[in-house]
Amino acid sequence: MLSLKESLKILKETNALLEGHFILSSGLHSPQYVQCAQLMSKPEKAAIFCKSLSEKITNEFKNFDVILSPAMGGIIIGYEIGRLLNKETIFSERVNKEFKLRRDFSIKPNQKILIIEDVITTGKSSLECSKLAMDKGASIVGYACLIDRSNGKSSIKDKIVSQVQLNIPTYTEKDLPKNLSLIEAIKPGSRNL
């Protein structure tokens, strides 16, 4: 398994962990930004990262049937972990602001589901996937992600298995530290389009 130092090195080398001044989709400001799509766009590095996460998942979750990921961020990670662990992998998509199963994906009653996504911050997408699965009569065995940046503040009450945990501070515009206020803010991310 990768150490924290090795994980951070890969994230920085692939531009998946950026330093600067960022306005997050929540409206909060941060000195770091995580963009796992950059990691996943470099297959050789992503394979190392996902292999390590798959080992952690195997150690923590002994028995599950299906991996469920939220679109978009969780699709590639879910697929790669599913490939490594030889598990069926499906994803949910937002339809009228609510996660649904499409493309003839299905969840059967009593199936054991592992929720996987790229980054967990608030846990909102993961919990929406959980509700979708439980509404179909399945049970949730747990949650996994490449990066857990929830700092223990996620709405997820179960254990989260991650390749790396990052404690990235966030600030309101009024509470910006001086060093951050001197840097021009960038508004990255898929929700800011």
**pLDDT tens track for 64-75:** 999 999 888 789
Residue 62's pLDDT is 86
Contact residues for 73 (Cβ-Cβ < 8 A; gap 6+): 36, 37, 117, 118, 119, 125, 190
Using CA of residue 39, residue 41, residue 47, residue 50, what is the dihedral sign? positive
Tens digits of residue pLDDT in 83-138: 999 999 999 988 888 888 889 889 999 999 999 999 888 888 888 889 999 999 99
Which domains does the chain possess? Answer: 4-192 (3.40.50.2020)
Q: What predicted TM-score, i.e. pTM, was given to this entire model?
A: 0.85
Residue 99's pLDDT is 86
| Pairing mode of beta strands 112-120, 98-101 | unpaired
Which residues partner with 34 through β-bridges?
Answer: 17
Tens digits of residue pLDDT in 35-80: 888 999 999 999 999 999 999 999 999 899 999 998 887 899 999 9
Q: What is the mean pLDDT of residues 148-171?
A: 87
Band the pLDDT of 192: cuts 50, 70, 90: very low
DSSP labels, 169-185: --B-GGG--HHHHTS--
User: Are 166 and 34 a contacting pair, CB within 8 Å?
Assistant: yes
Identify the burial level of 139 via C-beta atoms within 10 angstroms of its C-beta, where 0-12 means exposed, 13-18 middle and 19 or more buried. middle
Residue 5's pLDDT is 93
Contact residues for 134 (Cβ-Cβ < 8 A; gap 6+): 140
Radius of gyration of the chain (CA): 17
Q: Residue 193: is its pLDDT beyond 50?
A: no
Give the closest residue to 113 by CA, choosing from 97, 98, 126. Answer: 126
Residue 74's pLDDT is 86
Q: What is the mean pLDDT of residues 16-24?
A: 91
Band the pLDDT of 189: cuts 50, 70, 90: low
